[in-house]
Amino acid sequence: MARLRQLLPGAPEGEVWFGDDAAVVRACPAGPLLLLATDTVVGDLDADLSLTTLSDLGWKAMAVNLSDIAAMGGTPAQAVVSVVGLGPDDLERLYEGVVAAANEYRCPVVGGDLSAGRQIVVTVAVTGTVDGPPVLRRGARPGDAIWVTGPLGASAAGLRVLRARGLPDQRNEQPNGPGQPDEEEKALMAAHARPRPALAAGTVARRAGATAMIDVSDGLLADVAQLTDQSGVGFELEEVPVAAGATGEEALAGGDDYVLVFTLGPARAEPVRKAFAAAGLPGPWLIGGCVEDPSRHFLAGAPVQVRGWEHTF
């Protein structure tokens, strides 16, 4: 993207173009701030279509975009959905998931486009609003604490379970037999199939004074490094909350969790915990802090290799 950036003009004062989870713009000079994001899900690249239903693919295409709004501390407003490569019946299945996510997160689909094609491509663009300054990736300062809004690794663990078991209608299993996934495995597969954007947590974190925020799409370490790099600081992580049934490596590098990472001034632990509790939200979890040296990437007292989700199979 570095060469592309040279082609693109810079944002005016008060707006953010490129480089964050969503763009921050004013649709008209005196109008309110608008968030604008787009993300594409490519069949068999972002989702293994032998392990993902079309309905779940539709949900995911919405969820990854809604998560971009969450990572700014915003509230989604509308979505438009472009679909390539699906016939009418498959399109309806995809839209079941699209509409389920749109309803769940109150982000109506107001327009779209359909095209033929040799590969399934679902591109969503979302608008959002924010009733105060949005939280950018670049605002973390040395000394800020690093928090996450949920345990990590569930999506990667869910994919691991799915790879072992197949989709429910592909399973040849006896009731209560050994082939039946247990509750924990079901929860992991659900976390992979229908990731939940942390919209409520993002707003609470913003109002509690978050200095920077990003969603975990590429993997915790990769996304923490993205946030701290853009802020010009380093990180020292201590312990990371791991989703039940996930491995430590899945929590650190699994990706597609759509948990939020945010930073907060050092004296803000008590207020942010109270704010999350008051909103009926679990957490947040303190996982480490920001340090002055931008090259310092530490986990549990030792240097750590930043690694993340590979978007290939």
Q: Which chain residues interact with its own copies by CB under 8 A?
A: 1, 3-4, 7-9, 11, 15, 17-18, 22-23, 25, 27-28, 31-32, 34, 36-40, 42, 45-46, 77-78, 80-82, 84, 88, 91-92, 95-96, 99, 103, 108-119, 121, 123, 125, 127-129, 311-312
Which CB atom, from 125 or from 269, has the smaller least distance to its own copies?
Answer: 125
Classify each residue of 5-15 as buried b or exposed e, where b means 16 or more C-beta atoms within 10 Å of its C-beta: eeeeeeeeeee
Output the smallest distance, CB 106 to its own copies, in A: 11
Q: What's the rounded Cα separation, in Å, for the pair 236 and 30?
A: 42
Which CB atom, from 43 or from 245, has the smaller least distance to its own copies?
Answer: 43
Output the smallest distance, CB 39 to its own copies, in A: 5
Q: What's the rounded Cα separation, in Å, for the pair 159 and 10?
A: 39
Which CB atom, from 24 or from 187, has the smaller least distance to its own copies?
Answer: 24
The torsion region of residue 138 among left (phi > 0), alpha (psi -120 to 50) and beta comes to alpha
Q: What is the DSSP letter of 232?
A: T
CA distances from 226 to 54, 122, 137, 253 (A): 31, 25, 8, 13
Residues 6 or more apart in contact with residue 309 via CB below 8 angstroms: 156, 217, 218, 219, 222, 253, 254, 255, 256
Q: What's the rounded Cα separation, in Å, for the pair 152 and 242?
A: 5
Output the smallest distance, CB 291 to its own copies, in A: 30
Q: What's the rounded Cα separation, in Å, for the pair 21 and 19?
A: 7
Output the smallest distance, CB 207 to its own copies, in A: 17
Which CB atom, from 126 or from 242, has the smaller least distance to its own copies?
Answer: 126
CB 77 within 8 A of CB 107: yes
Which CB atom, from 37 or from 259, has the smaller least distance to its own copies?
Answer: 37
Hey, is 214 helix, strand or coil?
strand
Which CB atom, from 102 or from 154, has the smaller least distance to its own copies?
Answer: 102
Structure tokens at 227: 């946030």
Output the smallest distance, CB 272 to its own copies, in A: 26
Q: What's the rounded Cα separation, in Å, for the pair 232 and 186?
A: 40
Which CB atom, from 67 or from 123, has the smaller least distance to its own copies?
Answer: 123
Output the smallest distance, CB 118 to its own copies, in A: 5
Q: What's the rounded Cα separation, in Å, for the pair 147 and 265?
A: 11
Output the smallest distance, CB 25 to its own copies, in A: 5
Output the smallest distance, CB 156 to its own copies, in A: 20
Which candidate, 200, 245, 212, 192, places its Cα nearest to that of 64? Answer: 192
Which CB atom, from 122 or from 191, has the smaller least distance to its own copies?
Answer: 122
